[in-house]
Chains A and B, each alone.
Chain A
Amino acid sequence: MLLDALLLQLGYNATLVAIGAALLGTSAGITGTFLFLRKRALVSDAVSHATLPGVCIAFLIMAFAGGDGRNLAGLLAGSAVSAGIGLWCMNWLTRNTRLAEDAAIGAVLSVFFGFGIVLLTVIQTLGVGRQAGLEGFLLGSTAGMLYSDAVVIAAGGAVTLFLVLLTRRPMTLVAFDPEYAAARGLPVDRIDMLMMGLVMAVTVVGLKIVGLILIVALLIIPAVTARFWTERSEYVVLLAGLFGGVAAYLGAALSASAPNLPTGPLIVLVSFALFALSLFLAPNRGVLAAVLRHLRFQRRVHLRQGLLALAQGQAIYESLTLRLLQRAGLVRADGVPTSSGKARAAKALRDERRWEVVRSDMDHEAAAALYDGLRDIETVLTPDQIQEIDRQIGGPREVLS
């Protein structure tokens, strides 16, 4: 059943939803990356909640004009208008009052959403048209999606994607360093507006599938996930699009495979699963990599300190150090150094002495800056230089004991 869903074998509607969701997820992931790099991820929350009054008003207008009231394009147009108004209010509040951006986000979000709920109850009590389905915009509802709806969503996703491709360079610049972008002569305000416009477009297109409460997740989570895997912004953008598309596709397919599995929440949960995997497994920035790095460092410190202690004939009581030395074949079980242990210990002590010379000599200033107590001196100085130092400190000495 699940396999059928993944291979688009579950019928017309499920296929439409899965393809539409994948397109939406891709454009949301890409758009969200710029928002995330600009450190304004939660702005999307305000934008998405601000769509609700627009949906309701559009419904009322269309219903009173004698139409169906549920025309998707009309509802989406309404939601875009009210999201735009919400965005304008937010910008006005941050620019013209002393309120910080988070307060403005929260204010716009709660007030617009509250007003939307009022309008929803108005629609319910008026009993105009078939109002059932408007609640679907809160959490998304893909059951009974029409071909025309899917076309609207696919076209919206494609246009968003195209716009991002056209404007990715200036948006990257503004996201990383707005002051520099302004100094370069880029219209930062207008690029910010474009970024928000794209966010708005994704939100509006995603209302039908994911719902306005959860669309934020599609904008934020893939970008955060992609950031774990690379340090280059182009790759973050590409990976975020990929993660978003995969998560949306998998989520949509999963939800089609069994009853009572709402599409929006499943897409979000699949993205979170990808995020959690990345958090733990990503090379370099992942938790597992960090733990391994720490352990490796710990082992090196213990080995080094153990060798220095051996060289100076001190007894070692630290059990981890002893274990590490033993495993490396440098000491016997009773703590007495083996011959290779003695050699390594002598070398360690000698290196320490060499470093001392390096650090006290202004000529080696650059090399001395690299001293951290662990670095092999051969990686910093040439054999000639080491010989030169050795001449100053005399020949090798035998290890005590």
Chain B
Amino acid sequence: MSGQEFVPLSLTPMLIGIFAAVACALPGNFLLLRRQALIGDAISHVVLPGIVLAFLVTGVISTWPMMLGAAGAAIVAVVMIEAIRRLGRIEPGAAMGVVFTTMFAGGVLLLEQSDTSTVHLDVEHALYGNLESLIWLDATGWSSLLDPEALRYLPTELPRMALTLVGVCLFTALFWRALKISTFDEGFARTMGIRTNLLGLGLVITAAVAAVAAFDAVGSIIVIAMFICPPAAARLMTNRLEAQIAWSVLFAVVSAVLGYALAGFGPLWLGGADSVSAAGMIATVSGVILAIAARFGPARGRSGAPAGV
């Protein structure tokens, strides 16, 4: 395939997919070790009412109000989960289940009640995303990467996702030591003067930001899959956190690239005419990677690890 075809049609979706996957996988590592892996799942359900509300208030599909709405919904959800857990003395899993199903149901109801038939906003879109449509039509080949005129028409999701990834990386790097210590031994971290509560909240907020940005670009399936599958597979490869993060980034990138390629070109190789959902395929590939790691990963067993980790 030549650059003439690749750059406008495949480069940007692929890059966005990679950025989204890595941005979700990085906080996912810590969430997995802290046994909060399902937060990604919850966040990706609860942002729907936020996005729909933002659309109803502003009346247009534009990025910033929707991001704000989604972030607001995520915060409301976190507060509600905590409140239900404390006020009702209910275990966290069930509290989460109550909140995210209710908010998702509210979002669907709002969507059905409002007149969104004229614009492209529906539940399927929120679930699958539209990775394939994020193309860069102004590019003519590799040389366009240096052409400021063409660069101006890059899909806006690309710089936004890149910015999110930088933010997530910065958070991880800045709080690396504190995150590492508090993830493995919260009591010890507290005696060292680390504010573990604030740090935990910061981690959840970072995860929410990554999820909302990725959700906007690629849909919720990738978000859930990338929060869990690459870190889980990486966990089975090594006993060191640094190596685990490196593996998880690698797995995330491989899933994004391979998933996108398989979705776009796999059916053609099999004689089909059309492509299949890239978001779904990326999630599937990450699952295959996890399956391989679970079967052959060098650190897959429990021996040597404390029970339940």
Contact = CB atoms under 8 A, between A and B. Distances in A.
Interface of A: 36, 39-42, 44-45, 92-93, 96-100, 102-103, 105-107, 109-118, 120-122, 125-126, 135, 138-139, 213-214, 216-217, 220-221, 223-224, 227-228, 260-262, 264-266, 268-269, 272, 275, 279, 285, 287, 290
B109 A269 contact: yes
Nearest to B108: A265
Q: How large is the interface on B (under 10, 10 to 19, 20 to 34, 35 or more residues)?
A: 35 or more
Q: Is the interface of B mostly helix, strand, loop or mixed?
A: helix
B58 interface: no
Q: Which of the listed residues B105, B221, B235 has the most CB atoms from chain A within 10 Å of its own CB? A: B105
16 contacts: A39-B91, A40-B93, A99-B236, A107-B290, A111-B286, A118-B284, A121-B277, A125-B267, A221-B102, A223-B94, A224-B94, A261-B109, A265-B106, A265-B108, A265-B109, A279-B88
B287 interface: yes
Nearest to A115: B284
B101 A221 contact: yes
B13 interface: no
Contact of A279 (B45, B87, B274): B87
Interface string B249-280: 00000000000000100010000111111011
Q: Which of the listed residues A116, A121, A260 has the most CB atoms from chain B within 10 Å of its own CB? A: A121
B112 A98 contact: no
A269 B105 contact: yes
B281 A217 contact: no
Contacts of B282: 114
Interface stretch (B31-39, B152-160, B175-183, B188-196): B31-39
A113 B232 contact: no
Contacts of B40: 106
A-B complex: 6 closest residue pairs judged by Cβ atoms? A114-B283, A111-B287, A117-B280, A217-B101, A110-B225, A268-B105
A228 B84 CA distance: 12
A118 B263 contact: yes
Contacts of A138: 123-124, 127
B284 A114 contact: yes
Nearest to B297: A97
Given A41-B94, A107-B228, A118-B280, A268 B101 contact: yes
Contacts of B94: 36, 39, 41-42, 220, 223-224
Given A111-B225, A125-B267, 15 more contacts: A97-B294, A99-B294, A102-B93, A107-B228, A110-B229, A114-B284, A117-B283, A120-B277, A122-B276, A214-B108, A216-B101, A227-B90, A228-B88, A265-B104, A272-B105
B98 interface: yes
Nearest to B306: A98
A104 B276 CA distance: 26
A117 B273 contact: no
Contacts of B102: 217, 221, 268-269, 272
A244 B67 CA distance: 35
Contacts of A135: 124
B128 A110 contact: no
A106 B228 contact: yes
Contacts of A285: 88-89
B228 to A, nearest CB: 4
A179 B281 CA distance: 41
B297 to A, nearest CB: 8
B148 interface: no
A224 B98 contact: yes
A225 to B, nearest CB: 9
B305 to A, nearest CB: 5
A224 B221 CA distance: 27
Contacts of A266: 105, 109
B95 to A, nearest CB: 8
A284 to B, nearest CB: 11
Contact of A98 (B35, B89, B90, B301): B301
Contacts of B283: 110-111, 113-115, 117
Contacts of A93: 294
Given A103-B37, A114-B283, A98 B97 contact: no
A310 to B, nearest CB: 37
Contacts of A97: 236, 294, 297, 300-302
A76 to B, nearest CB: 21
Contacts of A39: 91, 93-94
Contacts of A92: 294
Nearest to A44: B97
A119 to B, nearest CB: 8
A62 B236 CA distance: 39
B215 interface: no
Given A275-B98, A279-B87, A117 B109 contact: no
A102 to B, nearest CB: 5
Given A110-B229, A117-B279, A287 B273 contact: no
B224 interface: yes
Interface string B95-134: 1111001101110110011000000000110011000000
Contacts of B113: 260-261
B98 A220 contact: yes
Contact of A114 (B45, B101, B106, B281): B281
B57 interface: no
Contacts of B228: 103, 106-107, 110
Q: Which of the listed residues A36, A98, A217, A260 has the most CB atoms from chain B within 10 Å of its own CB? A: A98
A272 B98 contact: yes
B199 interface: no
Contacts of A217: 97-98, 101-102, 105
Given A110-B225, A268-B105, A279 B232 contact: no
A49 B32 CA distance: 20
B41 interface: yes
Given A107-B290, A138-B127, A262-B108, A102 B37 contact: yes
Nearest to B223: A110
B38 A262 contact: no
